[in-house]
Structure 1
């Protein structure tokens, strides 16, 4: 897997390069600012870009903006965003084109090599991955609202696992049910959300967007 990294902190950037190399990835570029990221993506056409949300000069959302611009230039460019915080509005914006191939992980998750590798593969293959902390926060908000009220508790649980990027077979293993049962839950979710039977990957992304929209007010939620 050919990867571009955009991270302004030298130690973290070098640490990611070393870790990805150990995971049999090839880091074709490692940059520190959004302009260099866009240049590297145009030049290298990697399988995946790992991007910190907060890059120079203001350290607010330059990384996210560059990621969105990269997907505008080349739709479907796989992007895995890393952040110190749960920033729900940014998650929503990243997923807005419903094209898949996107992920949002907290930087703490990088230390879990197995989980990181699974996320890299899912995003590079066109899937969607959300950090469990993001999903957990949304579940808590959903419990206090009438949003998605038509879904049963089990269907909400399945939708939350979909939001984390799990496949139907992985959801089945997580819930200790059959994959056939999960397929039924997923189809019911699509039906209740009014999503027609088109491309299933796109429907999964749209379902996750509905889930995010139902999660309450946007903003930064500090973790730890």
Structure 2
């Protein structure tokens, strides 16, 4: 690598991270605000478009990561509904009527994509304590924001802040697991593959 190519590499990296962050938060806002405004299917369309963009950029390997994320997300979100920590108003569910709704489940492959190489949350991989803190704070705040916006509902007889803390504790355990799952799959299952932007030999 020549000296002149290093600044170009940093510029491309910064651009990739910024685009990744914008897509993630844009997709999250589109899904949550769509549900909050009684247009969950519109929110689903927005988040699906962002997820598909990430899959196209990442190649077949990213499709595998997306599938794993969907399974984890469906199990986790269903558990929150079953435990009555979270519920969804009918206007936020969508035509299929599934709880958790499709737009919520699709947020999971979007999160998984941010852990790819040169994406906005890749720096959290391999840093377990940081992942615990990031997952606990970020997870709790995300659900609290969704509750405040009206896209989802917390337990009616419990202070919303307490419910957010409970969910945050769950995320403090779950986020490092997601990050380590991605790292394991990158290193062990897809070693040597160079599809998309995720891997290098």
TM-score w.r.t. the length of structure 2 is 0.26
Name the one with the larger strand percent: 1
Q: Higher RCO, 1 or 2 (CA under 8 Å, sep at least 6)?
A: 2
